[in-house]
Structure 1
Amino acid sequence: MAITRLTQRKCKAIAFYILSWVIFTLSASALLTYGAGNGFDPTRMLFMLQLSLLTGLSHAIYDVIILQDEMDKRPVAAALIIRSCFFLASICANLTLCILIWDIDKSEGLINEAALQHMLNFFKQPKNHILIFELFMLGHLITFIRSVHKKFGTRVFMNTLLGKNQDPKEEDLIFMFIDMKHSTEIAEELGHVKYSNFIRDYYRLLSNCCEENHGEIYQIAGDGVFLTWKTSDCKRAARPLDCFYDFAECLERTAYKFKKRYGIVPAFKAAAHCGKVISTEVGNFGSEMAYHGDVLNTTSRIQTLCSKLGQDFLISEDLYMRLPLPLPHGFLSVKAGFFELRGKKNGILIFSLHKPLT
């Protein structure tokens, strides 16, 4: 049985938490041991490795299994207090378990008098209170890093850490602009509060589909969003088409939930184009990634043709020529014709993609 992309995403998130705890904990432990002049202590390092594995797994269970790797919907203060209590309880429980395992006795088992006495002495020492506090702060630091990583995506996150976004850089990218159908009418019918919840649920599903297909969300503007991929990453897999298909399937599977909660099921149309753009980080305070070039405008112009042609998915000839054939998911391509787009000197050949009728 094949592993679903949702399961793969959760496994990657769990691995992130466990590896983060192991790397940060062992690095800090090695530095502190070196600073104290005690040299390398393999016993302490092995104990900290055991502790970091258990604590990382506990953290992953809380964020990935309990919270479903999504934003905590509780009020900020309540979410912070609950998470802080969880970290303290988890760290203390894992420390206790590690000590019991470390002092296990073949005749008396896991819980024995010597192990219990060791545990009591451990929690009485001030230096171990500091260790608990350090692990507590580490838990919040890893949560923060994960939140920033989810917000900006892997490529932008790593490039920002390495300072690669500071200078303008030419890149060959694919952009797909997805727009919700009848958004104005839906907003008027639901009201601004209910519509905000509606579009939040809509974008939550879209962001999951985008991440599972190795894309990045570049910009969200109201009811429209730009997704992007490196063109070189789509030579063997038509990731924008996969994302479109997955999002359509996802909305179909969750239609009853939207219908029950809002009385409306969202639908969308999309356009995709590719080409060279300049990527750079703009701004000083509150800076963000920006892409400059004609590709984004052209993608947006192509998307406006969807309503005119009665199609849900249009792509440019430039992109079509770069996609691997045959197209995935049984997509059929039809030449929609040459169109003169606003701001373009020459006409551009547009293809419409659609699923075959069954």
Structure 2
Amino acid sequence: MAITRLTQRKCKAIGFYILSWVIFTLSASALLTYGAGNGFDSTRMLFMLQLSLLTGLSHAIYDVMILQDEMDKRPVVAALLIRSWFFIASICANLTLCILIWDIDKSEGLINEAALQHVLNVFKQPKTHILIFELFMLGNLITFVRSVHKKFGTRVFMNTLLGKNQDPKEEDLIFMFIDMKHSTEIAEELGHVKYSNFIRDYYRLLSNCCEENHGEIYQIAGDGVFLTWKTSDCKRAARPLDCFYDFAECLERTAYKFKKRYGIVPAFKAAAHCGKVISTEVGNFGSEMAYHGDVLNTTSRIQTLCSKLGQDFLISEDLFLRLPLPLPHGFLSVKAGFFELRGKKNGILIFSLHMPLT
């Protein structure tokens, strides 16, 4: 049985938490041991490795399995208090388990009076209190890093850390513009507050599909959003088409939830194009990534043809020629014709893509 992209995403998130805990904990432990002039203490490092693995797994279970790797919807104060109590409880529980395992007596088993007394004595020591506080702060740091990583995406996050976005550079990218159908009518029917919740749930599903297909959200403008992929990453897998298909399937699976809560099921149309753009980081305070080039304008203008032609998915010839064949998910391609787009001297050939009827 094949592993779904949702499962892969969750496994990657769990791996992120565990690996982060191991790296940060062992690095800090090694530095503290070196600073104290005690040299390399293999026993201490093995103990901290065990503790970091257990605590990282606990952290991952809370964020990925309980919160579903999404924003905590509870009030901020309540969410912080619950997370703080969880960190303290899991650190203390995992620390207790590690001490019991290291002091295990084969004749008396894991838990016995002497072992429990030793645990109590360890927790009375000031250095244990300091360790718990350090691990508590580390847990919050890892949570913050994960939040920033989710906000900006893997590529932008790593490029920002390495300073690669400071100077403009040319990139060959695929852009897909997804627009919600009948958004104005939906907004008028639901009202501002309910529509805001509606579009939040809509974008939550879209962002998950984008992440699972290794894409990035470049820009959200009202009811429209630009997704992007590196062209080189789509030579073997038509990721924009995968994302379109997955999002359509996701909306179909959750249609009853939207219908029950809002009385409306969202639908969308999309257009995709590729080409060279200039990418750079703009702004000082509140800076963000910006892409400059004709590709984005062309993509949005192709998308406006969807309503005119009565199609849900249009792509340019440039992109079609770069996609691996056969197209995934049984997509059928039809030449929609040559069109002169505003701002373009020459017309471009547009293809319409159709999902198979089920």
Q: Is the 1:270–1:312 Cα contact (8 Å) retained in structure 2?
A: yes
Mean alpha-carbon deviation: is it higher for 3-12 or for 307-316?
A: 3-12
1:356 is displaced (CA, Å) by: 3.5
- Counterpart-to-counterpart distance in 1, 2:274 and 2:181: 23
Residues 290-338 of structure 1, C-alpha deviations (whole Å, 9 max, x = no match): 0000000000000000000000000000000100111111111111111
Unaligned runs of 5+ in 2: none
Residues 171-220 of structure 1, C-alpha deviations (whole Å, 9 max, x = no match): 00000000000000000000011101100110010001101111000000
Query: Does 2:132 correspond to 1:124?
Result: no
- Counterpart-to-counterpart distance in 2, 1:195 and 1:207: 18
Match of 2:228 in 1: 228
Residues 140-171 of structure 1, C-alpha deviations (whole Å, 9 max, x = no match): 00000000111111100000000000010100
- Counterpart-to-counterpart distance in 2, 1:3 and 1:326: 22
- Counterpart-to-counterpart distance in 2, 1:357 and 1:122: 65
Q: So what's the TM-score if we normalise by structure 1? A: 0.99
Residues 84-110 of structure 1, C-alpha deviations (whole Å, 9 max, x = no match): 010001101111111111101001101
SS of equivalent residue, structure 1 residue 175: strand
- Counterpart-to-counterpart distance in 2, 1:135 and 1:193: 40
1:287 is displaced (CA, Å) by: 0.3
- Counterpart-to-counterpart distance in 2, 1:357 and 1:45: 58
1:113 is displaced (CA, Å) by: 2.7
Q: CA RMSD in A?
A: 0.7
- Counterpart-to-counterpart distance in 2, 1:147 and 1:207: 14
1:118 is displaced (CA, Å) by: 1.7
Q: Is the 1:103–1:114 Cα contact (8 Å) retained in structure 2?
A: no
SS of equivalent residue, structure 1 residue 289: strand
- Counterpart-to-counterpart distance in 2, 1:355 and 1:135: 50
1:116 is displaced (CA, Å) by: 1.5
Change (3 A) 1:91 1:275: same
- Counterpart-to-counterpart distance in 1, 2:253 and 2:218: 26
Identical positions, percent? 96
1:245 is displaced (CA, Å) by: 0.6
1:357 is displaced (CA, Å) by: 3.9
SS of equivalent residue, structure 1 residue 194: helix
- Counterpart-to-counterpart distance in 1, 2:155 and 2:350: 30
- Counterpart-to-counterpart distance in 2, 1:340 and 1:169: 29
Q: So what's the TM-score if we normalise by structure 2? A: 0.99
1:240 is displaced (CA, Å) by: 0.3
SS of equivalent residue, structure 1 residue 46: helix
Change (3 A) 1:356 1:120: closer
- Counterpart-to-counterpart distance in 1, 2:108 and 2:357: 70
SS of equivalent residue, structure 2 residue 25: helix
Residues 26-80 of structure 1, C-alpha deviations (whole Å, 9 max, x = no match): 0000000000000000000000000000000000010011001110000111101
Mean alpha-carbon deviation: is it higher for 348-357 or for 210-219?
A: 348-357
Mean alpha-carbon deviation: is it higher for 342-351 or for 307-316?
A: 342-351
SS of equivalent residue, structure 1 residue 245: helix
1:355 is displaced (CA, Å) by: 2.0
Unaligned runs of 5+ in 1: none
For this pair of structures, how many residues does the alignment match?
358
Mean alpha-carbon deviation: is it higher for 110-119 or for 260-269?
A: 110-119
Residues 117-136 of structure 1, C-alpha deviations (whole Å, 9 max, x = no match): 22111111111111110000
- Counterpart-to-counterpart distance in 2, 1:40 and 1:121: 25
